[in-house]
Chains A and B, each alone.
Chain A
C-alpha cells in the first residue's frame, strides 16, 4: 500500500447521458459508499503503463458537415497517407474533432445542453406538417428541427464523454487478420490462386473485473471513526460500527464498487457503439453512424463492437466478472511509427508517377543519378546516366511534358 489514500475513480455518471438505444434503460442512484479500486493505477498510466482505453468517435458525416470551414493549419489528408494509415492522418482526424468542439454547435456548459434537452422535450410533434420548422429540404435527412436537435444533443454528449480506461487490462487480446483468397480451384496446369484482399481486422477481447469493494466515505477527522449512521452511534460512544449500506468486499457491494461501474461503463460504450440513435421514435433506424476507438500499445483501432458477453458465476461471488467482446476494425493506426506495408511496387525506372521516386527526390538533398531510357516514337529523348542532377533538374528532365 502506498500512502493509504484511495485513488479517485471517475464517477460512473460520466457516461449517463450517452445514448444507448431502445430496449435498454438505465438510471443512476447516488451511492452512499465510495467505489474502491484495488488495482494498481500505475499500470494504466499513459506514460509509464499500458492503458487500454476506449473513446467515442463522432460520425464523420457530422464532423464534416459542421466543420465547413477547414482549419488551414490542419495537416492535409493525402490519398497515400490514408492508404498508409499514417499517424498524421489520425492526427488530422483528431484535429477535426477538436475543431468541431470549438464551433457554436458544441456547448461547454451543462446549462446549454439542458436547454437543448428541454427543446427536444417541448418542441412539439415529430414530423408535424404544421410544424413551420419542417422544411422540404431537410425532410429526407432529419424529419424536422426536433430530430435535428436530437442529433445535435447526442453529438454533444458523445463529444462530452471522456475516454474510458479499463481499471484492469484485458486478460487476453486476440487480433485476427484474415485473407480473402482462394487456392482450391484447379485446371490442367494446377491450382489457381485468386485473391480479393483482406478481411476486416477482428479483435477478440477477454477480461475480468476486479473485486466488488466499496468503502465508507465519512470518517471524522478528529477520531477517524465512522460517523453516526442511522442513529447507531459512533464506536467511541458504544454504538455499532454499522452502515445502512453494503461495504467491504462482498457481492452486496457490487453496485457501489469501482469494478462493476467500470464494467457497466464499458457496456454503455458497447450499447452506444458510436451511433446517433433515433431517440424520439425509439426505432433501430440509426440517424448517423460514428465509431469507437480503442487505444492500446500506441495503436488506435477504430471500429465497432460486434458483441458483448459477461457472466455471473458462483465461482466468482465477490467480483471477478468475466467478460468478452469482439470488435471489428474499420481502420487502424500505428501511432508509434509510419507503416510501409502497402507501398506500391517501385517502378524499375524513375517515373514521376512512382511515389517512391518522388519521395526520394523530395527527401534527398544530395545529387542523384538516374538512368532513363524513355523513348517517344522510337527516339531516345533523355539519358542522364552518370549525370548528377538535383531535384529541380530532375523535375524538369523527368517531367512528362519533356519526355
Chain B
C-alpha cells in the first residue's frame, strides 16, 4: 500500500499545529498592518520555519539612572528599555528526492538554459529544497519587516511583524543584522541569527483556579507575619467595614485630597 505521506516534510504541517493535539509548538511569523492587529497575510497563510529556531533568548532591561550624591545614591527610574529577542536558527538539511543531502548550487529545475541556449540536464541542487525555500521566506520577511512600499520603493505605511510561540505573542520588528552562515563544519544547511525588537508582548499564562477570598485574603490563624499576605486576625475586616467606608468617602468626597485625615 503506497504511503501518501510526503517524502520530505517540515517539522510542522501547519501554523495551527499548536492546537492539533500532537504536542507541537511552531514559531509562527505574521505581518500586521499599522494598527498592530490586522494581519496582512491571507487567512490561511503564516510563516512557519522548516524547523523551529534552535534558541530564542529574551532580553529585558530597565532604564535606570543612578548617580552618587552627598546624601547617598539617587535612582531615577524611567521605565523599560527596548526589549528584544535574539534568534538563532538552522535551516534544516538541504535534502531532496533521489539526491539526498545536496550542496549543489548549479541547479536547473524549471527549465533553465545553458549559456549556449540548450536545455541544461537536470542537476538537482539545494535551491529546490524545502529548507532552502523556508530560508528564503524568512529572509523575505526580514526584508519586508512590516513595511508597505510604493512603486518607487519608498515606505508608505509601517506595520509590524508578529511572532507567536506557545502562548507568547511578540509584536515588533526585526532589527540589526540578519546573518547567514554557511560553514564547512556544518554542510547542507545554513545557520541564521537575527534580533527582533519587541514593541508589545502578550502572554497567555495558565493557572489553577484560585479563590481570591480564601487564598489571598485568609485571616491569619498563627503568629502574625507582616510579610505574609494573610491578615492579622486583629484587623480582619468584613464587607461594609473600614475599607468600604473609606471607599464611600472616596466616592462622595467632592473637594480636596481624600487621603488627608482618613485613618484607620
In the complex, which residues of chain B have a beta carbon less than 8 angstroms from the beta carbon of A397?
A: none
| Chain B count of residues within 8 A CB distance of the other chain | 78
Q: How far apart are B145's CB and chain A's nearest CB, in angstroms?
A: 19
Q: Is B154 an interface residue (CB 8 A)?
A: no
If A160-B216, A163-B228, A311-B58 touch, whether A304 touches B264 (CB-CB below 8 Å) is no
Are A162 and B247 closer than 8 Å at their CB atoms? Answer: no
Name, among B215, B226, B239, the residue most crowded by chain A CB atoms within 10 Å (CB to CB).
B226
B77–A107 touching, CB < 8 Å: no
Q: Is the CB of B259 within 8 A of A66?
A: yes
Contact with B along A302-319 (1 / 0, CB 8 A): 001111111111100000
Asked if B66 and A11 make an inter-chain contact with CB atoms under 8 angstroms apart, the answer reads no
Which residues of B (221-264) have their CB < 8 Å from a CB of A?
224, 226-229, 231-232, 234-239, 242-247, 250-251, 253-259, 262-264
Chain B residues with CB under 8 Å of A68's CB are 263
* Residues in A neighbouring B219, C-beta threshold 8 A: 108
Q: Is the CB of B78 within 8 A of A284?
A: yes
Nearest residue in B to A307 (C-beta to C-beta)? B61
Chain A residues in 8 Å Cβ range of B263: 68-69, 103-104
- Other CB < 8 Å A-B pairs besides A104-B264, A162-B228, A304-B77, 11 of them? A28-B206, A29-B205, A31-B207, A98-B224, A104-B263, A116-B247, A252-B23, A252-B25, A255-B206, A275-B77, A285-B79
Q: Which of B75, B227, B244 contacts A115 (CB 8 A)?
A: B244
Tell me which residues across on chain B come within 8 A of A285, comparing CB atoms.
79
Q: How far is the CA of A69 from the CA of B264 in the complex (A)?
A: 9
Cβ A308 vs Cβ B206 within 8 A: no
Chain B residues in the interface with A (C-beta under 8 A): 21, 23-25, 52-62, 64, 66, 68, 73, 75, 77-80, 83, 165-167, 198-210, 212-213, 215-217, 219, 224, 226-229, 231-232, 234-239, 242-247, 250-251, 253-259, 262-264
Flag the segment in A16-24, A37-45, A339-347 that touches B.
A16-24
- Of A129-137, A184-192, A359-367, A368-376, the one touching chain B: A129-137
A101→B216 CA distance, assembly (Å): 13
Assess whether A16 is in contact with B80, with CB atoms less than 8 Å apart: no
CB of A23, distance to nearest CB on chain B (Å): 6
B200 partner residues in chain A, CB cutoff 8 A: 23-25
A26 to B165, CA, bound (A): 14
Nearest-neighbour CB distance to chain A for B19, whole angstroms, equals 11
Size range of the interface on A?
A: 35 or more
- By beta carbon, the residue of chain B nearest A242 is B21
Which 5 pairs between the two chains have the least Cβ-Cβ distance? A284-B79, A98-B226, A104-B242, A252-B23, A12-B207
B226 pairs with A95, CB closer than 8 A: yes
Q: Bound complex: CA of A53 vs CA of B251, how far in Å? A: 38
- A310 touching B208 by the CB < 8 A rule? no
Min Cβ gap B249→A in Å is 9
- Give the contacting residue for B207; candidates A11, A110, A149, A304; CB below 8 A: A11
Chain A residues near B (Cβ < 8 Å) = 11-14, 16, 21, 23-31, 34-35, 55, 65-66, 68-69, 94-95, 97-98, 101-112, 115-116, 119, 132-133, 135, 137-138, 145, 148-149, 159-163, 180, 196-197, 200, 244, 246, 250-252, 254-256, 261, 264, 270, 273, 275, 284-286, 289, 304-314, 328, 330
Partner of B232, one of A98, A314, A330: A98
Are A104 and B243 in contact, with the CB atoms below 8 A?
yes
Contact present for A109 and B213 (CB under 8 Å)? yes
Chain A residues near B166 (CB, 8 Å)? 251, 254-255
- Chain B, Cβ-Cβ closest to A104: B242
CB pair A34–B205 under 8 Å, yes or no, is no
Q: Which residues of B contact A115 (CB under 8 A)?
A: 244, 247
A321 and chain B: residue at smallest CB distance: B58
Using known A-B contacts A30-B207, A115-B244, A196-B68, determine if residue A311 contacts B224 with beta carbons closer than 8 Å.
Answer: no
Q: Find chain A residues with CB under 8 A from B78 CB.
A: 284
Determine the chain A residues whose CB is within 8 A of the CB of B215 once the complex forms: 11, 14
| In the complex with contacts A26-B202, A98-B226, A12-B68 CB distance below 8 A | no
